[in-house]
Amino acid sequence: MTGMKRVDPRRAYRMGSTGLRRIVLGESGAGDAALRFTSNQTDSRAKPLRSSVAATRWHIAVAHAYRGRLDDHAREAIAAAAILAGPEVGVLAVILGAYHENAAELGADKIAIIEDLEASRYEPQREEAVVQSFVEHYAPEHIFMPDNLSGDGDLGRRLIAKQKGVAATHVAEIDAAHVATAWSSGPVLASTPLPGIVLIDAGIVDTNLPFVGAGETVTPPQLPEIAERFRDLGLEPSAAEAIALEEADFIVSAGNGVSEVATLEQLARSLGAAVGASRVAVDEGKFPRSKQIGASGKTVSATTYFAIGISGAVQHLQGIKACRHVIAINRDAGAPIVKRADLTIIADAEELMQALITRVAQAREQTDATEANR
């Protein structure tokens, strides 16, 4: 016994873009940042079509879009449908809610966008009926969905109950032959052959595909007139400061390079963002410990993360691995955060924050004036 820790050969792995297994060291869940970063940089125009053969059978992927885009988890469900499709199997992506990206880069051959079914409204029976109509028309071999708490997991379970077929939820690993799901509090993987409906966990499929789908738009079916048994009372917006950092979609975060906390808080308020901080900023007493992001603080997964005057030490980067867009403001072009950021502004933090606050106020006034003139 050397005491050296070995990789557990039975641990969950991620399905690569060719359908081969890839164990990702050091993390589970949302996937490694480098991969996520490069996947944002892919150029789908340069890639070949996945298949040029007419489809005789189908995979369907279903997911809600938010504010016109699919999150990484939803993207994985479509990519899984494409990776596991043979040449004669077509991939239909059914996207609920307005969608402004191109699902062809995720391997979708046909894309049906049901704009009217927004994730912010709860219309379970209409959603179910729409998906059901695609299922009846295409008779898919497999349906892939993200197993999340924001609508798809619920819809998926209702479809499972309707279809009465074999299904798997919380799928932690997947390939053409099987799916596996964690049980016994995680360490044991139970597997079964790839079932009809597959609800996947996040972080198990590489979405950086070497091919594209045909991306043909499909006219959605007429939405059925269904008197919902549920009454949707709508969403109530919460104040950004009341949202837990782990749930915040937009975070403005301060490091040692921020001298005026009040300016940062004003910027966060004007952008409707939550406030985060580096450990140094917290240690200096500028922010409470609950705001600390990083290895010994919170792990966040915001769509947009503003890192202001933060160097990007490895412990801080650990906490923002799952953030989709990182924008850095730093005086030093050589700071490590620059490598992680999608956009870096080399400037003085205080000056740039003041300029941003002014521009946001101007943009808001302009919008208000346009609305008033309508």
Ligand X SMILES: Cc1cc2nc3c(=O)[nH]c(=O)nc-3n(C[C@H](O)[C@H](O)[C@H](O)COP(=O)(O)OP(=O)(O)OC[C@H]3O[C@@H](n4cnc5c(N)ncnc54)[C@H](O)[C@@H]3O)c2cc1C
304 touches 327 (CB < 8 A): yes
**Binders in 341-360 for ligand X, by CB under 6 A:** 348-349
**Candidate list 195, 213, 257, 276; residue touching ligand X; CB under 6 A:** 257
CA angle 76, 82, 85 (to 5 degrees): 140
Angle subtended by helix axes 124-138 and 152-163, to nearest 10: 60
For residue 324, the one-letter residue type is: R
Nearest of 12, 65, 15, 7 to residue 35 by alpha carbon: 15
Given the complex with ligand X, which of 213 and 319 has the nearer CB atom? 319
Residue with tokens 């072009």: 333
DSSP 311: -
Considering the complex, state which of residue 135 and residue 310 has its C-beta at the smaller distance from ligand X: 310
H helices present in the chain, as ranges = 33-40, 72-83, 124-138, 152-163, 261-271, 279-283, 314-319, 337-340, 349-373
Strand runs labelled E in 274-355 = 274-277, 304-308, 325-330, 343-346
In the complex with ligand X, which residue's Cβ is closer, 159 or 258? 258
Strand partners, 49: 212
Q: Please tell me whether residue 276 binds ligand X under the rule CB under 6 A.
A: no
The only residue of 88, 115, 284, 332 in contact with ligand X, by rule CB under 6 A: 332
Task: Work out how close the CB of 282 gets to ligand X at its nearest, in angstroms, rounded to a whole number.
Answer: 8
Closer to ligand X by CB, 140 or 309: give it. 309
Determine which residue in the list 294, 302, 341, 353 makes contact with ligand X, applying CB under 6 A: 294
Pick between residue 182 and residue 267 the one whose CB is nearest to ligand X.
Answer: 267
Q: Interface with ligand X includes 260 (CB under 6 A)?
A: no
- Segment interacting with ligand X, rule: CB under 6 A, options 132-140, 147-155, 198-206, 330-338: 330-338
d(CA 288, CA 329): 22
Would you list the DSSP string of 54-73? PPSEEEEEEEE-BTBB--HH
CA 236, 75, 202 angle in degrees (round to 5)?
75
The smaller minimum CB distance to ligand X, of residues 195 and 319, is found at 319
Please identify, using beta-carbon distances, which residue of 217 and 290 lies nearer to ligand X: 290
Q: Does 335 bind ligand X (CB under 6 A)?
A: yes
Q: How far is the CB of 197 from ligand X (least distance, A)?
A: 39
What is the crossing angle of helices 261-271 and 349-373, to 10°? 30
CB of 262 to ligand X, least distance (A): 15
Among 82, 264, 280, 326, binds ligand X (CB under 6 A): 280
Identify which of 127, 126, 125, 56 has the alpha carbon closest to the alpha carbon of residue 95.
127
Task: Write each residue from 304 to 323 as x if it is in contact with ligand X (CB under 6 A), else as -, in one continuous string.
Answer: -----xxx-x-xx--x----
Residue 30 C-beta: closest distance to ligand X, Å: 17
User: In this chain, which stretch among 19-27, 119-127, 175-183, 286-294 interacts with ligand X, using CB under 6 A?
Assistant: 286-294
Nearer to ligand X, 207 or 311 (CB): 311
Question: Does residue 296 belong to the site contacting ligand X (CB under 6 A)?
Answer: yes
Ranked by CB distance to ligand X, the top (closest) residue is 294
* Helix, strand and coil in the chain, % to nearest 5: 30, 25, 45
Distance CA 230, CA 5 (A): 52
**Does residue 96 touch ligand X according to CB under 6 A?**
no
Closest separation between CB of residue 202 and ligand X, Å? 22
Stretch that binds ligand X, among 9-17, 24-32, 116-124, 279-287 (CB under 6 A): 279-287
- Kindly list the strands in the beta sheet with 142-146, ordered across the sheet, starting from the edge strand earlier in the chain: 188-193, 178-183, 167-174, 197-200, 142-146, 57-64, 89-96, 110-114, 216-218
**What number of chain residues touch ligand X (CB under 6 A)?**
27
Contact set with ligand X (CB under 6 A): 255-257, 278-281, 292-297, 309-311, 313, 315-316, 319, 329-332, 335, 348-349
